[in-house]
Chains A and B, each alone.
Chain A
Amino acid sequence: MNFPISCPTPVSTSATIQMAHGGGGRRSHDLIERLFLPAFCNQTLEERHDGAVLDVCGQKLAFTTDSHVVSPLFFPGGDIGKLAVCGTVNDLLMCGARPRWLSVGFILEEGLSVEVLERVVASMSETAAEAGVQVVTGDTKVVDRGKGDGIYINTAGIGTIAGEAPSPARVRSGDVILLSGDIGRHGIAVMAQREGLAFESMIESDCALLSAPVVAMLEAGVEIHCLRDLTRGGLATALVEIAKASGNRCRIDERAIPVREDVRGACEILGLDPLYVANEGRFMVILPENEVSRALEILRSCGVSEEACRIGEVCENCDGGEVLLRGTIGVDRILDMLSGEQLPRIC
């Protein structure tokens, strides 16, 4: 049998935007690398961090933004308002910043019940108070009925950084990877609510502020090399991004990664891999071995990260960076970013 050995015809990228372009996986990554980075080219953006770290007259600031389009607006364990505040506050925390101020932009759909908006705003206000941030500016636009999902919210935030900001660039071989708790709950909770899937127990989103453990570690002066919250694309995508950005090989152990029984069950039924399912209140800490016990003690003293655990190590430098997962029967495999969206399997 003969095979063509000439250069194959290149496949053009999709001419229309698809859902996967916003899914946090490879398509999102491609959009950033091919369109946004070249167009807005600057050194800060090149860091590829959760937020920008800026120097303003000697004061280091973290600046970030996040848009929220979740459907349904209210889901077990949270709502779009809580999510909009947590998302931006958590991104600031991941830059090693104390979150200070937020802006809020609402895009509302004609016909939305004011009562629904009031509930969302009350939830935002409560979450902002808990996070110790002030909403200092905002904007409201209304679109025609049928052109939005009720409410879209954009938040941007500014935080102040005291010491050296954690960043993928600071990750070193020999560092240890800690995970703040069980994974996969947000993605499954939202999917179950949206699709009307009934499981034996109600799975609640892990949507939460990460202020307590992060601020506690910063105040204790723990030497943190990198922080990353695990949102769309899940643990696997976040770790692959860090490995690629830092040019290291990371090794993690699947058996050390906590996944709640009901989430595992839902993933088994739907054919999803919990490593790729979205979270909204989980993060990784990458730090030197000698800081591990202190960091774990602090993490475990905070409710949101009381099940924190060690899941792996940063190993040697390697070209391009990669993540190796030791599976449940003890065989290693390479983890890739989420490609496309996670779609439920036929059987």
Chain B
Amino acid sequence: MKYIDEYRDAADARRFAAAIRKVVTRPWAIMEVCGGQTHAILRFGIDELLPPEVTLIHGPGCPVCVTPLELIDKAAELAARPEVIFCSFGDMLRVPGSRDDLLTVKSRGGDVRIVYSPLDAVKVAQANPGREVVFFAVGFETTAPANAMAVHQANRLGVSNFSILVSHVLVPPAIEAILSGPENRVQGFLGAGHVCAVVGTAEYEPIVRKYRVPIVVTGFEPVDILHGIYLCVRQLEEGRAEVENQYARSVRAEGNRFAQEMVAAVFEVVPRKWRGLGEIPGSGLGLCQEYAEFDAERRFGLAAGGAPEPAECISGLILQGLKKPFECPVFGTSCTPDHPFGATMVSNEGACAAYYRYGRKMEV
């Protein structure tokens, strides 16, 4: 399949792995920010091709993982209301809240539906004028344009029974939060290619200068990731710290202007809580004043505040790259993808789930 097979080629993967071995002279810790990259690293076994000097740290880039517990609880509360049709992307349904996940709410009679596009949720609202349709708007800069478009469309078409429960997060503030943490050990980043396809690469320039860390915008296939790691290690070895674009086939420096305008028209930057990391200033998107009526929290008068995370779960440390999943005492024993304690075990892209699924239980 074009654009897939050539980036999963075993010979090319090994060529880049050899190039990394050749250029590396001392230990480096590199964080892949995006959960999609974590998933690919574990699925294809990319980490096993790397020399021992290179350590990959799995970052907080899985939207499912970082959605705060209190918002999952709000989603479950809304989904349980008889007048509500609750629409969501599929993988949010299994995320445990402090009491229930959405699948459990569904099994008790809640009208919970999987949609593949937020615009489908607008269609559901049009088809059910007597019900309230709430879409769970989660994700990074990647899903924000389509979610903004859904709100824009609902407004334009006068669909008044549609609203969104917003938990949008932004990558650059999370990178800054990690870099400014007292225990930070990340020396270079693989930037998420699809985030940059939307927002471009300019946002990373000040971070690179301020913290002296290389950021390599990287794709999601094995050859992309190995190439990204190679470019990052080469910068580190040469003492450079620049924004470099490995994923040039999709990412332009200026990003996608139309998508950016749509996001700017509907959303504004707000402080946002990240599951496991806490509140990070300016790290999220919320509906701006003009579209505030589409805010489900406001429409349904949901109370703020929430339950604490399970005490055993170390997903916060995992999301910061301070611990590996197998260093958690409950990993693979009482915490499994079927009974996840924390969000990193829930999503396919979560570091714990990826380690569990791909059999990384025995590493020490």
B45 & A329 in contact (Cβ 8 Å cutoff): yes
Contacts of B356 in A (CB 8 A): 336
Whole-angstrom distance between the Cβ of B345 and the nearest chain A Cβ? 10
Is B357 part of the contact surface with A, judged by Cβ < 8 Å? yes
Contacts of A10 in B (CB 8 A): 334
Q: Which of B36, B311, B333, B338 contacts A339 (CB 8 A)?
A: B338
A329 near B312: Cβ-Cβ < 8 Å: no
In the complex the two chains form, is B108's CB within 8 Å of A16's CB?
yes
Would A331 and B357 count as touching, CB distance under 8 A?
no
Asked if A320 is at the interface of the complex by the 8 Å CB criterion, the answer is: no
In Å, the complex CA distance between A1 and B334 comes to 21
Q: Measured between alpha carbons, how far is A328 from B8 in the docked complex, in Å?
A: 6
Task: Across the interface, name the chain A residue whose C-beta is closest to B114.
Answer: A344
Chain A residue contacts of B46, Cβ below 8 A: 329, 331
A264 close to chain B: CB less than 8 A: yes
Q: Mark B125-149, 1 if CB is under 8 A from A, else 0.
A: 0000000000000111011000000
Q: Does A265 contact B (CB under 8 A)?
A: yes
- Which of B45, B93, B143, B339 gathers the greatest number of chain A CB atoms within 10 Å? B45
User: Which of A18, A270, A344, A346 neighbours the largest number of chain B CB atoms within 10 Å of its CB?
Assistant: A346
Interface-lining segment among A19-27, A39-47, A60-68, A76-84:
A19-27
> At the interface, yes or no: A54 with Cβ under 8 Å from chain B?
no
Contact A265 B349 (CB under 8 A): no
Complex interface: chain A residues within 8 A of B335 (CB): 8, 11
Minimum CB distance partner of B42 in chain A = A333
- Whether A344 lies near B311 (C-beta < 8 A) is no
Determine which of B8, B44, B91, B312 lies in contact with A4 in the assembled complex, contact meaning CB atoms within 8 Å: B312
B359 touches A336 (CB 8 A): yes
Contact check: which of B4, B42, B139, B312 meets A346 at CB < 8 Å?
A: B139
B107→A16 contact, CB < 8 A: yes
Whether A345 and B116, one on each chain, are in contact in the complex, defined by CB atoms closer than 8 angstroms, is no
User: Residue B177 at the A interface, CB < 8 A?
Assistant: no
Q: Is B92 close to A, CB under 8 A?
A: yes
Q: With A16-B108, A328-B222 as given contacts, are A344 and B89 in contact (CB-CB < 8 Å)? A: yes
B214 interface hit (Cβ, 8 Å): no
Binary per-residue interface labels of chain A (259-284) against chain B in the complex, 1 for a CB within 8 Å, 0 otherwise: 00100110010110000000000000
> Contact string, A312-343, partner B, CB cutoff 8 A, digits 1/0?
00000000001000011111111110011001
Q: Quick one: which of B11-54 are within 8 Å of A by CB?
A: 13-14, 36, 42-46, 48-49
Please determine whether B359 and A334 come into contact, CB atoms closer than 8 angstroms: yes
Tell whether A5 pairs with B329 under 8 Å between CB atoms, given A331-B45, A344-B114, A346-B91.
Answer: yes
Q: A329-B44, A339-B336 are in contact. Are A345 and B349 (CB under 8 A)?
A: yes
B142 x A8 contact (CB < 8 A): no
Known: A3-B314, A18-B107, A336-B356. A329 touches B13 (CB 8 A): yes
A10→B339 CA distance, assembly (Å): 10
Query: Does B315 belong to the interface (CB within 8 Å)?
Result: no
In contact, A11 and B334 (Cβ under 8 angstroms): yes
Residue pair A334, B334 in contact (C-beta under 8 Å): no
B245 lies within 8 A of chain A by Cβ: no
List of B residues within 8 angstroms of A264 by Cβ: 1, 4
B residues less than 8 Å from A140 (CB atoms) = none
Task: Assess A333 versus B317: contact at CB under 8 Å? Given A18-B107, A328-B8.
Answer: no
In the bound complex, residues from chain A placing their C-beta under 8 Å from that of B162 are: none
Give a binary string over A184-195; 1 marks a CB under 8 Å from any B CB, 0 the rest. Answer: 000000000001
* B44–A344 CB distance below 8 A: no
Q: Could you tell me which residues of chain B, from 73 to 109, have a CB within 8 Å of some CB in chain A?
A: 89-94, 103-104, 106-108
For residue A113, CB closer than 8 A to chain B, the reply is: no
Known contacts A3-B329, A18-B103, A271-B348; A265/B1 CB under 8 A: yes
Q: Check: B328 CB closer than 8 A to any chain A CB.
A: yes
Residue of B nearest to A328 (CB): B8
Interface membership of A59, Cβ < 8 A: no
Report the separation of the CA atoms of residues A9 and B334 in the bound assembly, to the nearest whole angstrom. 8
Complex Cα spacing A70 to B146, Å: 31
User: Shortest CB–CB separation between residue B194 and chain A, in angstroms?
Assistant: 7
Q: List residues of chain A with CB within 8 A of the CB of B143.
A: 346-347
User: Is there contact, CB below 8 Å, between A334 and B358?
Assistant: yes
Residue of A16, A19, A264 most packed against chain B (CB within 10 A)? A16
Q: Which residue of B lies closest to A265 (CB)?
A: B1
Asked if A347 contacts B328 (CB within 8 A), the reply is no
A347 adjacent to B45 (CB under 8 Å): no
Q: Are B338 and A340 in contact (CB under 8 A)?
A: yes
Q: CA A347 – CA B89 in complex, angstroms?
A: 9
How far apart sit A8 and B104, CA to CA, in the bound complex (Å)? 23
**Residues from chain B with Cβ under 8 Å of A201 in the complex:** none
- Contact (Cβ within 8 A) A344 B45: no
In the docked arrangement, what's the CA distance between A3 and B322, Å?
A: 13
Contacts of B208 in A (CB 8 A): none
**A293 interface residue, CB < 8 Å from B?**
no
A8 with B312, Cβ < 8 A, contacts A339-B338, A346-B63 known: yes
Chain B positions near chain A (C-beta within 8 angstroms) = 1, 4, 8-10, 13-14, 36, 42-46, 48-49, 63-64, 89-94, 103-104, 106-108, 114, 116, 138-140, 142-143, 194, 222, 311-312, 314, 317, 322, 328-330, 333-339, 341, 347-349, 356-359
With A11-B334, A331-B45 known, 20 other A-B pairs at CB within 8 A are: A4-B312, A9-B312, A9-B334, A14-B104, A19-B107, A27-B338, A265-B1, A271-B348, A329-B8, A329-B45, A331-B48, A331-B49, A335-B359, A343-B90, A343-B94, A344-B89, A344-B114, A345-B347, A346-B138, A346-B143
Give 8 CB contacts A-B under 8 Å.
Answer: A3-B328, A9-B334, A328-B10, A330-B10, A339-B357, A344-B90, A347-B140, A347-B194
Binding site for B on A (CB under 8 A): 1, 3-5, 8-11, 13-14, 16-20, 26-27, 30, 195, 197, 261, 264-265, 268, 270-271, 322, 327-336, 339-340, 343-347
